[in-house]
């Protein structure tokens, strides 16, 4: 009489799920480490000194969320200006002056939006400085 070992199906499924979970965790950790390595190689070894402390970054995010409607509108204008560049560049006959003008408008939109965002961030930095005093 041969005795066949009984395998518990539930236990096998649990082991499989555990293995998949461990693999997922390993992939996630690898991705995070790779991202940090890429950031360091792109920005250099001093890249950490270019970051604001975590409490500042949280306040920056909150301030940007508070101004989200206006920033979204400005970003939509940037997209429209970018679309105009493509339109001018693809028009035939090609008109260099019109394309260059569209590029200038795009650059001005980006500069304006960047200045607006920096003003919001400066307000947060100023508030922080006043609280420190």
Q: What share of the chain is helix, strand, coil (3-state, %, to 5)?
A: 85, 0, 15
Q: Is 29 in contact with 86 (CB distance < 8 Å)?
A: no
What are the residue ranges spanned by the domains of the chain? 9-47, 52-132
pLDDT tens digits along 101-112: 999 999 999 999
Q: Which residues contact 75 (CB under 8 A, 6 or more apart)?
A: 113
Tens of pLDDT, residue by residue over 45-57, are 666 667 788 899 9
Give the per-residue pLDDT at 37. Answer: 75
pLDDT band at 25 (very low <50, low <70, confident <90, very high): confident
**Does the global pTM surpass 0.85?**
no
Q: Which residues of 109-124 are buried (b: 16+ CB within 10 A; e: fewer)?
A: bbeebeeebeeebeeb
């Amino acid at each position: 009489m041969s005795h066949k070992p009984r395998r518990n199906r539930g236990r096998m499924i649990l082991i499989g799920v555990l293995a998949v979970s461990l693999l997922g965790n390993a992939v996630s950790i690898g991705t995070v480490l790779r991202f940090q390595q890429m950031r360091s190689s792109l920005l250099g070894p001093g890249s950490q000194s270019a970051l604001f402390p975590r409490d500042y970054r949280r306040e920056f995010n909150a301030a940007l969320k508070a101004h989200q409607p206006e920033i979204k509108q400005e970003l939509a204008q940037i997209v429209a200006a970018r679309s105009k560049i493509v339109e001018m560049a693809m028009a035939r006959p090609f008109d260099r002056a019109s394309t260059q003008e569209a590029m200038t408008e795009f650059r001005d939109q980006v500069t304006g939006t960047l200045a607006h965002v920096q003003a919001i961030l400066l307000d947060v930095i100023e508030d922080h400085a006043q609280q420190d005093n």
